[in-house]
């Protein structure tokens, strides 16, 4: 068993000693059987939340309304969720009623795919009610039960199917795939934040091209924000040989670049995905830099404005298109810039006013900007006396 499971064993044992069942469930079991690294360990139990809180001294109510309590054991938190059923799905979204139950089978039945519906005891025994082990062997993503019903209950599962296919390099089983095709429009009913999470995970997974092609082939792409008119561009992205994206900004920058979006276009595209302002800002910068790399117009000022981190990201994407610079050269050119940000400028507005060069107001901002660009472009050194002389000249011009 992986280290993460070994560490959690005492927690499981304590629940069992109190007379309840406890299992590892969800993605960590799937990934363990596949021999992949695992991150978070999910534990499911027949004990009710109140019962869990009686067993352990230190707990946190992280999601008590869904039956999840976090138990702290040797400084690590473990999310322990009571077996539950879900019912009353309305509007193709999440259930409006969850009910705690004592039966493991009931809990596994509500899970999305056969390979996500295993339960593992702390001794390593696996419960596999839906033949998920066979699907794992055959590299198939298959809905638990009737795919059509399951996607009506929660349409996000369609996006999750594509995400897991992309993560594991699996194929979506044919009946499940057919159900996605016929229900793809239901994705419009899903909160965009939930789609966002699955989409970004998909793009950062091992085989994003598979995921993109699945989104096209099932028509799902038509029902996520801003994709409907970009089938060709999505196909182009799916053709990129070494598509590998390590963070969100890269994902959105690649799309914005390929879609040919300008600044305004990027903002409205990403606002429709409810992206954070930070992501929007960085995507705008990164996309512009990719364009400059393509046009071979990346000068010192552009590098300065981009910053090292986004410069490397942009170059990484440029590499996929075949117009990147050597990363080493690019970074050393960046490192050689005389300043990296405004704060390093050797004069400030106060200095210029004191020396009688300019009065407070809009003119001051313009002069400071001219000084900043002048330093970055190497027109003058970042030294106070020299900059004050330069400012005098700028004012005369
Ligand atoms: P990852 O390794 O990416 O975290 P995961 O399988 O653990 O993958 P999570 O989103 O963390 O995925 O969900 C944990 C488990 O909860 C899933 O394995 C699945 O059993 C169940 N699950 C999550 N979301 C849904 C859903 N929308 N419908 C049904 N079951 C779900
Ligand atoms: Mg998980």
H-type alpha helices, the chain = 3-17, 27-33, 49-55, 104-109, 132-137, 147-153, 156-168, 174-183, 192-203, 208-217, 231-239, 248-259, 263-272, 277-295, 300-306, 308-321, 327-335, 349-354, 362-376, 384-396
Calculate mean pLDDT across residues 199-227. 97
> At residue 91, does pLDDT exceed 80?
no
Q: Is the CB of 112 under 6 A from ligand 1?
A: yes
CATH, domain range 342-396: 1.10.246
Topology of domain 241-335, per CATH? Methane Monooxygenase Hydroxylase; Chain G, domain 1 (1.20.58)
What tens digit of pLDDT does each residue of 21-59 get? 999 999 999 999 999 999 889 999 999 999 999 999 899
Tell me the two tokens of residue 393: 């000249």
The residue contributing the CA closest to ligand 1 atom 2 is 27
Q: Is the CB of 150 under 6 A from ligand 1?
A: no
> At residue 94, does pLDDT exceed 70?
no
Ligand 1: which of 2, 93, 111, 211 to mutate, most ligand atoms within 8 Å of CB? 111
Q: Can you give the pLDDT at residue 368?
A: 95
Q: Can you give the pLDDT at residue 107?
A: 97
Calculate mean pLDDT across residues 366-382. 96
Report which DSSP code applies to 129.
T
Q: Can you give the pLDDT at residue 86?
A: 83
CA angle 82, 64, 89 (to 5 degrees): 75
The residue contributing the CA closest to ligand 1 atom 1 is 27
Domain spans, the chain: 1-130, 139-239, 241-335, 342-396
Ligand 1 atom showing the smallest separation from residue 201 Cα: 3
Instruction: Give dist(CA 237, CA 357) in Å, integer.
Output: 53
Q: Is the dihedral of CA 201, 206, 211, 109 positive or negative?
A: negative
> At residue 391, does pLDDT exceed 90?
yes
Q: Can you give the pLDDT at residue 1?
A: 86
What tens digit of pLDDT does each residue of 296-345 get? 999 999 999 999 999 999 999 999 999 999 999 999 999 999 999 999 99
Radius of gyration of the chain from Cα atoms? Answer: 27
Percentage of the chain lying above the pLDDT 70 cut: 98
Calculate mean pLDDT across residues 123-141. 97
Calculate mean pLDDT across residues 245-257. 97
Percentage of the chain lying above the pLDDT 90 cut: 91
What tens digit of pLDDT does each residue of 143-164 get? 999 999 999 999 999 999 999 9
Q: Can you give the pLDDT at residue 89?
A: 67
The residue contributing the CA closest to ligand 1 atom 9 is 27
The highest-level CATH class for domain 1-130 is alpha beta
| Architecture, CATH, for domain 139-239 | Orthogonal Bundle (1.10)
How would residue 290 be classed by pLDDT, with cut points 50, 70 and 90?
very high
Ligand 1: which of 2, 116, 191 to mutate, most ligand atoms within 8 Å of CB? 116
Does the complex come out with an ipTM higher than 0.95? yes
> At residue 88, does pLDDT exceed 90?
no
Q: For the chain, give the mean pLDDT.
A: 95
Q: Is the CB of 288 under 6 A from ligand 1?
A: no
Q: Is the CB of 157 under 6 A from ligand 1?
A: yes
> At residue 282, does pLDDT exceed 70?
yes
The residue contributing the CA closest to ligand 1 atom 24 is 112
CA angle 159, 162, 163 (to 5 degrees): 85
If we measure between CA atoms, which residue out of 147, 128, 148 comes closest to residue 137? Answer: 128
Q: How far is the CA of 112 from the centre of ligand 1 (A)?
A: 7
Instruction: Give dist(CA 296, CA 319) in Å, integer.
Output: 13
Q: How far is the CA of 90 from the centre of ligand 2 (A)?
A: 25
Q: Is the CB of 27 under 6 A from ligand 1?
A: yes
Ligand 1 atom showing the smallest separation from residue 111 Cα: 30
What tens digit of pLDDT does each residue of 229-238 get? 999 999 999 9
């Amino acid at each position: 068993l992986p280290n993460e499971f070994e560490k959690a064993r005492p927690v499981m044992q304590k629940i069992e000693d109190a007379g309840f069942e406890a299992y590892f469930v969800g993605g960590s079991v799937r990934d363990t059987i596949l021999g992949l690294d695992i991150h978070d360990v999910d534990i499911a139990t027949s004990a009710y939340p109140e019962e869990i809180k009686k067993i352990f001294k230190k707990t946190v109510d992280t999601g008590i309304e869904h039956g999840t309590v976090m138990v702290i054991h040797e400084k690590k938190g473990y999310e322990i969720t009571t077996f539950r059923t879900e019912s009353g799905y309305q509007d193709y979204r999440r259930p409006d009623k969850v009910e705690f139950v004592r039966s493991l089978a009931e809990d596994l039945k509500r899970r999305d795919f056969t390979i996500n519906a295993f339960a593992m005891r702390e001794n390593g025994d696996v419960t596999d009610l839906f033949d998920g082990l066979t699907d794992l062997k055959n590299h198939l993503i298959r809905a638990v039960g009737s795919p059509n019903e399951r996607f009506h209950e929660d349409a996000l599962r369609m996006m999750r199917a594509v995400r897991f296919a992309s993560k594991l390099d699996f194929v979506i089983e044919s009946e499940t795939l057919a159900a996605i095709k016929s229900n793809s429009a239901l994705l419009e009913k899903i909160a965009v934040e939930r789609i966002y999470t699955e989409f970004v995970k998909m793009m950062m997974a091992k085989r994003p091209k598979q995921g993109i092609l699945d989104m096209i082939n099932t028509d799902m792409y038509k029902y996520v924000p801003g994709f409907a008119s970009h089938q060709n561009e999505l196909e182009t992205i799916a053709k990129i040989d070494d598509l590998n994206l390590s963070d969100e900004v890269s994902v959105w920058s690649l799309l914005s670049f390929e879609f040919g979006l300008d600044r305004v276009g990027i903002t409205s595209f990403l606002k429709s995905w409810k992206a954070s302002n930070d992501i929007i800002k960085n995507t705008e910068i990164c996309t512009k830099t990719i364009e400059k790399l393509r046009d071979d117009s990346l000068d010192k000022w552009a590098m300065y404005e981009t910053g090292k981190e986004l410069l490397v990201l942009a170059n990484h994407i440029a590499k996929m298109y075949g117009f990147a610079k050597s990363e080493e050269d690019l970074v050393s050119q960046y490192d050689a810039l005389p300043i990296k940000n405004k704060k390093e400028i050797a004069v400030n507005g106060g200095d210029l006013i004191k020396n009688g060069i300019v009065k407070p107001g809009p003119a001051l901002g313009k002069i400071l900007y001219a000084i900043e660009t002048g330093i970055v472009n190497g027109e003058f050194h970042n030294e106070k006396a020299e900059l004050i002389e330069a400012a005098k000249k700028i004012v005369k011009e």
